[in-house]
Amino acid sequence: EVQLVESGGGLIQPGGSLRLSCAASGFTVSSNYMSWVRQAPGKGLEWVSVIYSGGSTYYADSVKGRFTISRDNSKNTLYLQMNSLRAEDTAVYYCARAGGGSWGQGTLVTVSS
């Protein structure tokens, strides 16, 4: 059974850093393209980043230069390193497999002083 479990969210001050993790089971992360998607409170879905099986990465303009997507093949885990966090980054962050075929339960990131 495919499962995705996000962790690492929490309350962080503006300008701070946080690393989100997405532990996968039931499939191999490195053989799939994996995305991060976020949802601000009461708002719609916003695509954040993708990493392809070959290692190519792409980012939304709103996070480019601040966020970094990566994976650890030995741990079958996807990551999102978030730096220079802003209030507008407050959201539930989801990881998703391939074209959104599977999603995690999400982890809440709150950026506030």
- Chain positions contacting another protein, by CB under 8 A: 35, 37, 44-47, 50, 58-61, 94, 96, 99-101, 103-106
Strands of the 67-72 sheet, one edge to the other: 3-7, 18-25, 77-82, 67-72
Closer residue to another protein (CB): 14 or 101: 101
Burial per residue of 36-58, b for 16 or more beta-carbon CB atoms within 10 angstroms, e otherwise: bbbeeeeeeeeebbbbeeeeeee
Minimal distance in Å, beta carbon 75 to another protein? 22
Query: Smallest distance from the beta carbon of 110 to another protein, in angstroms?
Result: 18
State in angstroms the smallest separation of the CB of 89 from another protein: 17
